[in-house]
Amino acid sequence: MTADERRTGEQLPGKPLPDVVAPDLDVLFCGINPSLLSAARGHHFARPGNRFWPALHLAGLTPRRLAPEEDRELLRHGLGVTNLVHRPTRTAAELTPEELRDGAAALTDLVTRHRPRAVAVLGITAWRPATGSPRAGWGRQDVSIGGAQTWVLPNPSGLNAHFQLPDLARLYAGLRR
């Protein structure tokens, strides 16, 4: 693993949860924003009911189920994680459209700098206002972010009852192709 691959992101002011990012990743996952618990613990998708970690494993993207405390291990598998908005909240519904649009611009900058092959935004209700695409659907998008293939996939939060773990795993597995 190179020094660049070991890099775990910048701890910027106003960014309580550092990005897990390195140059030339296969996939950069982009959550909507950190939960209060994730921000407090300093690890992505830290809520016990969040299905991100089991979905990655069941999708064949990681060889075993990682724990939130192992989020930097994603780099070993060509994966990374960031958030569209870095302000922690109880629910994503607390975010403003302006925060989402600003987050999309910041995500474009991050992707342009690190050049992942694909970006997977986890949450269509954030993607639509962030990009001004009210009719955007699931899956691969016609637009790219910073030159990367862009996907919109279901949010793995336990609050998202529309998708069960097998659904998430099947949809996330599409990123392997």
Q: Is the pLDDT score of 12 beyond 60?
A: no
- Buried-exposed string 127-146: b where 16+ CB fall within 10 A, e elsewhere: bbbbbeeeebeeebbeeebb
Is the model's pLDDT at 8 over the cut of 60? no
**Is there a catalytic annotation at residue 162?**
no
* Given the residues 44, 83, 86, 114, the one annotated as active site: 44
Q: Does the domain formed by 27-174 have CATH 3.40.470.10?
A: yes
* Residue partners of 68: CB distance under 8 A and separation at least 6: 38, 41, 43, 44, 45, 46, 53
Classified as helix, coil or strand, 147 is coil
Per residue in 108-166, pLDDT (tens digit) is: 999 999 999 999 999 999 999 999 998 899 999 998 999 999 999 999 987 777 899 99
Is 155 noted as a catalytic residue in this protein?
A: no
- What is the domain partition of the chain in residue ranges? 27-174
